[in-house]
Amino acid sequence: MTEVSKIGVVVAGSLGEGVKVRLNGTTSVEDIKVGSNVVIQGQENRFFGVVTDIALESSDPSLQFNLPDVSDRFIRDALSGTSAYGAITVEPMLTIGIDQYSDATGPMPSKTIPTHFSEVLEATEDDINSVFGSEADGGFWIGSPLDMEAKLCLDLDEMVKRSNGVFGKSGTGKTFLTRLLLIGILQSGKASNLIFDMHNEYGWKGTSESNYDVKGLKQLFGSKVSVFSMDSESAQRRGFIPDHVVSFGYSDITPEDIQLLRETLDLTSVAADAAYSLEAHFGPKRWFRAFIGMSGEATNELASEINVNSSALAALRRRLERLTRFDFVSNDNVEDSAEMILQRLNSGQHVVLEFGKHGNNPTAYMLVANILTRRIYDRYQRQKELAMGDKLAEPPNLVITIEEAHRFLSSSMSGQTIFGTIAREMRKYNVTLLVVDQRPSDIDEEVMSQIGTKVSCLLDSGRDVDSVLSGVSGNRKLRGVLARLESRQQALIFGHSVPMPVVVRTRDYGSAKSYSELGDVGGVNGDSSKALEDLFGPS
Amino acid sequence: MALDLERTAHQLDTMMSGLKDFSSVQTDRLGESLNLLEGFVQEVFLGKLDTSSGLFQWTPPIFPESPSKSIKEPSIPVDYSVVGVDGSHIDVNRHIPVDCFLINTGSAYLRYGAASEAHLSSSPKLFVPPDETVISDPNNPHQLLQIQGTILGAIRAVKEMETLAMHLKNEELANSEPVPVVGLVDGTLLLLDLLRPGIPDFVIDSVLTEGFLGALNDIKKTAEKSEIVVASYISLPGSDEIIDGVRMLACPYTKSDCLYHCGDIKKGTRPCDSASEGLLDRDIMSSLLEEGGRSELFKSNFHVARNYYGDNEITFFYLNTGYEIARVEMPAWASEKRGNIDLVHAVVMEQCRKGGGYPTALMEAHEQAVISTSDRQYFLNLVEEVLERNGIEFTTSQKDRSKRLRWL
Amino acid sequence: MSTPSYEYPFRIGEVIESDTNEFTTQCYELYGAPSLGTLVKAGETEPVYGVVSYSHTSGLDPTRRPIARGEGLASEDLVYDENPQLNRLLTTNFKTTIVGFKFSSQITTYLPPRPPRIHSFVSQCENTEILTFAKSLDFMSSILGANLPQSDDVAAAFIRYACQALPEETELRVESAKRLASLLGNDTRRLEGILRRIPND
Ligand SMILES: Nc1ncnc2c1ncn2[C@@H]1O[C@H](COP(=O)(O)OP(=O)(O)O)[C@@H](O)[C@H]1O
Ligand SMILES: [Mg+2]
């Protein structure tokens, strides 16, 4: 057992406001950080809590007006911790029974608070393990609590049951976090991953902002991971050959996709809706090719024929022409990429879809993500329904990771896109989302409320904070915690896979040590000099 | 109104005018006596003293060569000690069925100079019946005298002298490097009260000879070995021995036969009265002695005393302490050496300066000895308590009973 | 005559007045009172401890007032040399606030069941005893609460005294100051005043 250090005693408080803890003389307020974990030894319960506020207090109300001579170190030393002392507010989150019998039930949400003068201790590694579980219990080590070395674990079983979210403004470590979560899911075998890798960071090499490469999933897990690409040139430039280059035919595009692209294509709703009329007129799968090949006159005629405003239809045709310019979209019949991805997923592989240069084009990203997801989801739905309750015949759990998720899940869009459906249906068909986003306030409220576990790094605006925390109890106190996260590699995690909200310093990713801890199986890179570099870290 | 203040005031006025007359007469007489001393010739004086022996009604002392001389204050040794002794007593109380009394003797040892220090102490002694409260005739045990009043006063003087003797002896024994020591008692060494007619011889033998003079003899013995002097200090002395001498000087007759010459003459109008009547030694001395100065040494000449005192015959001088004219007495054996007189003179002067007019050693001894009124009451109560505890019935006045409430 | 203090060097005097809260000691030597704030003990086997809070020199006999004696003298010491009786007539007494007691060789830092007897010998304390009280400081509240004009000085003096006696206890000064601070939590002014009287030396 490590030596426990006492920080103070409970002197006041309420269940609603949290308990007030007077720090003892040896603990400085500067040693305590908001969001860190403490344990309160009550009379009958052991409470596990979070520091939600830190204050300076004084037993002499006149102290602030009649300032003693604090330039005298002696006087300052005498006063600090006694007349002038630090206080923290602790939100008791969980109750751990003191006797071993009740311990067996595990931590329970606190329904009371500790008595006066209960001792408050720094949480130890054992405390963290007993609350959050350990790697030995099958938890996934995501990082460490504030100012602690202990490994804080997530309950992945709980995690894959629902859609989850990783939030944070740009540069706070969302991608690194997501990569860790993906690895966790991958290692646990509890689900397959499909990752829409907008910025080419997950499959093969990611870059860190300190400008060195970090390994992608393929490099770590080799054959368990397939990397599909939208842009083989880009893949080659980065020194690897993708498992498959994805392309679509005109027939793959549906009116629903057009709805999704309405904003990026700058279409009026009339124009976008016209796609449905076109589909009805020309028939599914054929409408796009037929419509795109029409001349201006023919379009006008068609307009009156299907009773659509002619200028709107003309606009629609002009905008859709943009899609034909994508090199992954062709008139010819192409290999069914969705089918290939499904096969890989069904065989237990994890699939990363790299967008290459198209990652910078929201239209391309959204179109592809939507087309593929719809196809895959259709198949899952069918497969699930066919299995009729036979677990073995069911499709494996699938986690779909999307960056910039608000593009698909905004309140105007989420009702229409497949992503909205998945988010709302939860895991009805064994498919869940891992949404990664920097602007959670743009995501539809209802979708946000369905997210099981939220991992939030520092956010840009109060609106974002509100949306992330909406519906969470103790919201006001968590706000303070969230607002004070460090700008990188720190996150507040709350929701189903943790028993209580907790701030973590995200586990390091990118060093040789981190790779070996993450179970690097050698990947596909045989280059020995590269392996050495991995071992000793980037130079 | 019980006292008629108006009439009293009037009478006081009359008294004052009488006093004024009296004091002018005094001044004249004093002038006369000083004149006589101016022309003093020792041989003539001694001759007349001799011829008039037994006829002259007064007892002049043996005058020195120049009785009107003022001797300057001599220098004082750097290191010296003074031992002062004084006593007080609680007399026999008629309320108490037991004739007991208590004498408390206080002493102050003061050492001056390099090794200056002080010891103050007091020792009470309770005299209890049957043996300690009476003096009995060794030749006739039925002859006894109850000790009280005058006799008790004398016993107290004995106690004082004995205490002084003891301290001086201790001091002599204790000091490897002896310094001059002056032993001082308060009051006269001449216990004339004891020698008054009516006091049986066995009492004189016991108290004066064995007691007082015995102690003085002890001191004398100690003094043979080291520089120890004993003296007594008399503040505001009422004696008129020198005046007696002046009277003889003023007597116009060759043979001063008082009865013969002046037997019929009224007091105050005799020839000698013009230079002496109503005067005290200190009146003359205050005119003669400059501040700090002492007179020459006179030798007491009481016939009654001479038989008993022997070597301890009393000599004396007067001293102008700056505060008053004091009389200092020394036994003859001590004043034999001029150095001893000088020592006593210097030390007493210094003591008076330190004590603000009264020798410090005596003052501290007195403070040690003094029995406060409350202590007196306390003592009485203590006696009562002891007696009652021993079943001795006790009749006290109501007044005394009330005082007993002090008892806790 | 010799004073007992020569034979028993740690003995200072004897108790002449005693109550639940404090006892008064008469010193064997004139001006022999320990410094303000000193820890002393009264009694032999199961002593009562006190902190010197007041000392007083005056004539033994209240009716005799000292008078000026040094007008012609070159130094103050000469006043005493020239008037040796002063050493006997003046007496130094000191009061101590009772702070604890020893019972079956265990020091307790609260008031004893009864104060020391009159004539108990009063002597200096050993460092281990000082340490016990310096570490506890339980008694400070009674000193500060006594509301004597000198309370604050006594408190400060004790800490100074303990720090001086126990130089190896390097944290003592700050630890004590903190204890004081918690006792005087709502009176920083007063606390500051006391702390100023504990300079670092
Ligand atoms: N767990 C981590 N281990 C190592 N570096 C990290 C970690 N998390 C964040 N970083 C650093 O922070 C930078 C930004 O992280 P990133 O995940 O790209 O942010 P975001 O996706 O939120 O824009 C990374 O380039 C890296 O240097
Ligand atoms: Mg990113």
Residues with CB under 6 A from ligand 1: A 168, 170-176, 208-210, 488-489, 506-510
In a domain, A391, yes or no: yes
Confidence check: pLDDT of B402 > 60 = no
Residue A524 pLDDT: 47
Which one-letter DSSP state was computed for residue A524?
Answer: T
Q: Which of A25, A61, A83 sits opposite C191 (nearest CB)?
A: A83
How far apart are the CA of A204 and the centre of ligand 2, in A? 15
CATH of the domain at B101: 3.30.2170
Confidence of residue B150 (pLDDT cuts 50, 70, 90): confident
Residues 6+ apart with CB under 8 A from A438: A167, A168, A169, A170, A174, A404, A460
Q: What is the pLDDT of residue A118?
A: 94
Residue recorded with tokens 């339980």: C138
- Range list of H helices, A268-324: 269-282, 287-292, 296-306, 310-324
**Pair C86, C79: CB distance under 8 Å:** yes
Q: What is the pLDDT of residues A236-256, one digit of tens each?
A: 887 788 888 888 888 888 888
Whether C2 shows a pLDDT value over 60: the answer reads no
Say if the Cβ atoms of B110 and C61 lie within 8 Å: no
Same domain, A344 and A312: no
- Name the residue of chain B whose CA is nearest to C66's CA: B355
Q: Which of A123, A144, A164 is the last residue of a domain?
A: A123
What is the number of structural domains in chain A?
Answer: 3
Confidence band for C125, pLDDT divided at 50, 70 and 90: very high
Comparing CB atoms, the residue among A60, A69, A77 nearest residue C185 is A60
Which residues of B are less than 8 Å from C89 in CB distance? 120, 364, 367
Whether A57 contacts chain C with CB within 8 A: no
Q: Which residues contact C44 (CB under 8 A, 6 or more apart)?
A: C120, C121
Nearest 10 degrees: CA dihedral of A375, A377, A380, A386? -80
- Name the nearest CA neighbour of B254 among B12, B51, B30: B51
Nearest to B120 among C64, C67, C88 (CB): C88
Beta-carbon separation of C81 and B112 below 8 A:
yes
Q: Is residue A537 part of a domain?
A: no
Average pLDDT over residues B129-134: 87
Ligand 1 centre from A178 Cα, in Å? Answer: 10
The pLDDT value recorded for residue A356 is 86
Q: Are residues A47 and A89 in the same domain?
A: yes
> Hey, what's the torsion of the CAs at A150, A154, A156, A157, to 10 degrees?
110
Q: Which atom of ligand 1 lies at the shortest distance from residue A210's CA?
A: 27
Give the nearest chain C residue to B113 (CA atoms): C81
Query: What pLDDT, on the 0 to 100 scale, is given for residue B407?
Result: 38
In a domain, B61, yes or no: no
Q: Which ligand is nearest to the CA of A486?
A: 1
Please report whether residue A524 resides in a domain: no
Chains A, C in contact, 3 or more Cβ pairs below 8 Å: yes
Residue C176 banded pLDDT, cuts 50, 70, 90: very high
Q: Check C178 against A78: CB less than 8 A apart.
A: yes
Q: Which residue has the tokens 């498919």?
A: A431
Give the SS3 label for residue A322.
helix
Nearest residue to A129 via CA among A118, A139, A117, A142 = A139
Pairwise CA distance, residues B319 & B294, whole Å: 4
Indicate the pLDDT class of residue B392, thresholds 50, 70 and 90: confident
Please report the DSSP string for A416-462 in residue order.
TSHHHHHHHHTTTTSEEEEEEES-GGGB-HHHHHH-SEEEE---SSH
Domain span at B205: 80-235+295-370
Higher pLDDT, A426 or C107: C107
- Residue B12's pLDDT band, with cuts at 50, 70 and 90, is confident
Distance in Å, CA A209 to ligand 1 centroid: 7
Q: What's the confidence (pLDDT) of residue A104?
A: 53
Chain B contact set for C85 (CB, 8 A):
108, 110, 118, 120, 360, 364
Note whether A444 and A344 are same-domain residues.
yes
Q: What pLDDT does residue A527 have? A: 44
Q: Is residue A134 part of a domain?
A: no
Reported confidence tier of residue C43, pLDDT bands at 50, 70, 90: very high
Binding-face residues of C in 66-105 toward B, CB within 8 A:
67, 69, 80-89
Whether residue B112 is contained in a domain is answered as: yes
> Same domain, yes or no, for A403 and A473?
yes
Residue B35: which pLDDT band, with cuts at 50, 70 and 90? very high
Q: What is the pLDDT of residue B395?
A: 60
Which of C61, C64, C88 minimises the CB distance to B118? C88
Q: Residue B270: inside a domain, yes or no?
A: no
Q: Are residues A241 and A367 in the same domain?
A: yes
**Interchain pair B356, C89: CB under 8 A:** no
Q: Is C187 on the interface with A (CB under 8 A)?
A: yes
Q: What is the pLDDT of residue B396?
A: 57
Containing domain of residue A57, as a range? 3-123
Query: What is the A208 CA–ligand 2 centroid distance (Å)?
Result: 10
- Going residue by residue through chain A (539 aa), what tens digit of pLDDT does each one get? 345 689 999 999 998 889 999 998 788 888 888 888 899 998 888 899 888 889 998 888 888 888 888 888 888 888 888 888 899 999 898 887 655 454 456 788 888 899 999 999 988 888 888 888 888 888 899 999 888 888 999 998 888 888 999 999 999 999 999 999 999 998 888 889 999 988 888 888 766 666 678 888 888 888 889 999 888 888 888 778 888 888 888 888 888 888 888 888 888 888 888 889 889 888 888 898 888 888 888 888 888 888 888 888 888 888 888 888 888 888 776 778 888 888 888 888 899 998 888 888 888 888 888 888 888 888 888 888 888 777 777 888 889 999 988 888 888 877 778 888 888 886 778 889 999 999 999 999 888 988 999 999 999 888 999 999 988 877 777 888 888 889 999 999 999 999 888 899 999 888 888 888 887 655 444 444 444 444 444 44
pLDDT in tens, B211-235: 999 999 999 999 998 899 999 999 9
User: Is-contact A446 A424, C-beta < 8 A?
Assistant: yes
Q: Coil, strand, or helix at residue A349? A: coil
**pLDDT score at A181:** 92
Report CA(A175)–ligand 2 centroid distance (Å): 4
What lies within 8 Å, CB to CB, of B294 at 6+ separation is: B70, B71, B73, B317, B318, B319, B320, B328, B341, B345
Say what angle helices A462-469 and A475-483 make with each other, to 10 degrees: 130
Cα A356 to Cα A199: distance, rounded to the nearest angstrom: 7
- Looking at the domain assignment, is residue A370 inside a domain? yes
For residue C71, the chain B residue with the least C-alpha distance is B354
Q: Residue B121 above 90 pLDDT?
A: yes
Q: For residues A101 and A27, state if they share a domain.
A: yes
Task: Spell out the SS3 assignment of chain B.
Answer: CCCCHHHHHHHHHHHHHHHHHHHHHHHHHHHHHHHHHHCCCHHHHHHHHHHCCCCCCCCCCECCCCCCCCECCCCCCCCEEEEEEEEEEECCCCCCCCCCEEEEEEEEEEEECCCCEEEEEEEEEEECCCCCCEEEECCEEEEEEECCCHHHHHHHHHHHHHHHHHHHHHHHHHCCCCCCEEEEEECCCCCHHHHCCCCCHHHHHHHHHHHHHHHHHHHHHHHHHCCEEEEEEECCCCCCHHHHHHHHHHCCCCCCCHHHHHCCCCCCCCCCHHHHCCCCHHHHHHHHCCCCCECCCEECCCHHHHHHHHHHCEEEEEEECCCCEEEEEEEHHHHCCHHHHHHHHHHHHHHHHHCCCCCHHHHHHHHHHCCCHHHHHHHHHHHHHHHHHCCCCCCCCHHHHHHHHHCC
A393 touches chain C (CB under 8 A): no
User: Which class for A402: exposed (0-12), middle (13-18), buried (19 or more C-beta within 10 A)?
Assistant: buried
> Across the interface, do C84 and B364 touch by the CB < 8 Å criterion?
no
Q: Which atom of ligand 1 is nearest to the CA of A178?
A: 17
Indicate the residue of C177, C179, C185 with minimum beta-carbon distance to A59.
Answer: C185
DSSP string, A379-412: HHHHHHHHHTT-GGGSPPPEEEEEESTHHHHBTT
Nearest to C144 by CA among C173, C168, C113, C179: C179
Percent of chain A residues topping a pLDDT of 90:
20
Q: A68 C-alpha vs ligand 2 centroid, how far in Å? A: 51
User: Does A68 contact C173 at a Cβ distance shorter than 8 Å?
Assistant: no
Query: What would the mean pLDDT of B251-262 be, rounded to a whole number?
Result: 90
User: Among C174, C188, C198, whose Cβ lies nearest the Cβ of A60?
Assistant: C188
What would the pLDDT profile of B42-96 be if each residue is shown by its tens digit? Answer: 999 999 999 998 899 999 999 999 999 999 999 999 999 999 999 999 988 777 7
Q: Which of B345, B338, B370, B371 is nearest to B359 (CA)?
A: B345
Contacts of B118 in chain C (CB under 8 A): 84-88
pLDDT of A430: 84
Residue A13, CA distances (Å) to A49, A53, A116, B283, B341 in order: 13, 12, 9, 97, 95
Q: Of C38 and A212, which is predicted with more confidence? A: C38
- Quick one: which atom of ligand 1 is closest to the CA of A169? 22
Residues of C (158-177) whose Cβ lies below 8 Å from A? 173-174, 177
- B partners (3+ CB pairs within 8 A) are C
Domain ranges in chain C? 11-196
Chains B/C: 3 or more C-beta pairs closer than 8 A?
yes
Predicted confidence (pLDDT) per residue in B311-352, tens digit: 899 999 999 999 999 999 999 999 999 999 999 999 999 999
The ligand minimizing its distance to the Cα of A438 is: 1
List chain C residues with CB under 8 Å of A25. 178
Domains of chain B: total: 1
Per-residue confidence (pLDDT) for residue A345, from 0 to 100: 87
Q: What angle do CA C166, C170, C176 make, to 5 degrees?
A: 80
Examine residue B180 and say whether the peptide bond preceding it is cis (omega within 30 degrees of 0). Answer: no
A275 and A410 assigned to the same domain = no
- Residues in C closer than 8 angstroms to A11, CB to CB, are none
Q: What is the pLDDT of residue B400?
A: 53
Ligand 1 pocket test target in A210, A489, A505, A517 with most atoms within 8 Å of CB: A489
Angle in degrees, CA A484, A489, A491, rounded to 5 = 55
> Any idea what the CATH number is for the domain that residue A473 is in?
3.40.50.300
Beta bridge partners of A216: none
| pLDDT confidence of residue A234 | 81
* A466 within 8 A of A475, measured Cβ to Cβ: no
